[in-house]
Amino acid sequence: MDEDAPHHEFRVGDVLRVSCPPAEGRVAEVSRFHVSVEWPWAEIDPQSQIRWNGRRAFGTSPDSPDWALSLFKTDPEPWHLRVGDSCLVGVPESLVRIVDIGRYDPPQDVGWLPRPHTMLVVVPADHPDEALSEADGDTIDLESAAPLTFELVSRG
């Protein structure tokens, strides 16, 4: 993971440039509203109280907040995918703004390994503050097994 500021120095309001090179995933399930892709990075935590199935869901509509606010994207887009299809999963270079930070000691039990110590809640950098709701944004696990890169663009 590359970064210009150590994790503990990230602050609410900071704008980051985030990216993750794509990795291959396989479509495990398709429903009316979501496509579930086997996650190419994290592994299931056998000691977890949460039974994560090793998948991540993506909205099946380009207008879905699940798709619009998600950092991770699939190629091709979820609405073109069927069960058994291969796709690429990654984070195209994006500018995001931190709207909340969760720090966990002990690390948070989320169902996968590694368990996160620090999670950033982010929205697109141009997302208006007055439009923020609790459902907006995506989380960045700073201890993620995904090869995310971060660059501090501006201080909040």
Q: Write down the domain spans for the chain.
A: 7-154
Give the pLDDT of residue 5: 47
Token pair recorded at residue 152: 């501090």
Cβ-based neighbour number of residue 18 at 10 Å: 20
133 falls in which pLDDT band (50, 70, 90)? low
pLDDT tens string 142-153: 888 999 999 999
In angstroms, the CA 143 to CA 56 distance is 17
**CA-CA-CA-CA torsion sign (47, 31, 23, 70):** negative
- Determine if the peptide bond prior to 62 is cis (ω within 30°): no
| Residue where the block lists tokens 């439009």 | 131
Rounded Cα distance between 109 and 9, Å, is: 23
- Say what the pLDDT of residue 37 is: 97
